[in-house]
Homo-oligomer: A and B are copies of this chain.
Amino acid sequence: MPDTSIPTAIAGTRHDHSRCISTAMTTARSLCAQKGVRLTELREQVLNLIWQSHKPLGAYELMEQLARETTRRVAPPTVYRALEFLLEQGLVHRINSLNAYVGCTHPRQEHATNFLICRHCGVAIEFASVPLESSLQASADELGFVIEAHSIEVVGSCKRCTDQGVASHEH
């Protein structure tokens, strides 16, 4: 079995991103094969474009890049359908506060959408936390609410940007 996940929170650090890309693509292919769903060329192209960085990418930016890459016109439904597929398979997440999409770093596990998003460099860092999930569950239990899904989007400054003092150069 191929590599199956990308180290937690690598997004916020210096790292060899080409490894992120290849790991993500390999995992995606194997995961789709396993589930018996088709990772078509288009879907793979879209996933690959999304994985070019850890910054969430808007559907229309994606569309432009896809058009450039394929040298033909690409209409919105094309990318939205690919995104829909990738979301269903858990290969990408949607960042609601940004209307943008980012690759999932551990698509094999069922999990919620928890992100730290840097206001300065734009990076979205996926994270998980057992205590966080339990206290969320406790809050819901208290009110008799049955959780089906959740998304946490934290905005702030990542370590790199804070260390570089980017946060202090603000207008």
Chain A residues within CB distance 8 Å of chain B: 9, 12, 96-97, 114, 116, 118-119, 125, 127, 129, 131-132, 135-136, 138-140, 143-159, 162-163, 167
- 30 pairs, A vs B, C-beta closer than 8 Å: A12-B144, A96-B153, A116-B140, A116-B145, A118-B145, A119-B148, A125-B145, A127-B139, A127-B143, A129-B135, A129-B138, A131-B131, A131-B138, A132-B132, A132-B135, A135-B135, A140-B154, A143-B158, A143-B159, A144-B158, A144-B159, A145-B154, A145-B156, A145-B157, A145-B158, A145-B159, A146-B162, A147-B154, A147-B156, A150-B154
Q: For the complex, would chain A's binding face be called helix, strand, loop or mixed by DSSP majority? A: mixed
| A146–B129 alpha-carbon span in the complex (Å) | 17
A161 to chain B, nearest CB (A): 9
Taking a contact as CB atoms under 8 Å apart, the answer to whether A144 and B162 are in contact is yes
CB distance from A9 to the nearest CB of B (A): 5
Given A97-B96, A153-B96, check contact A139 B148 (CB 8 Å): no
Q: Which of chain B's residues have a CB closer than 8 A to the CB of A127?
A: 139, 143
Pair B136/A132 contact, Cβ less than 8 Å = yes
Chain B residues near A96 (CB-CB < 8 A): 96-97, 153
Separation of A143 and B118 alpha carbons in the complex (Å): 12
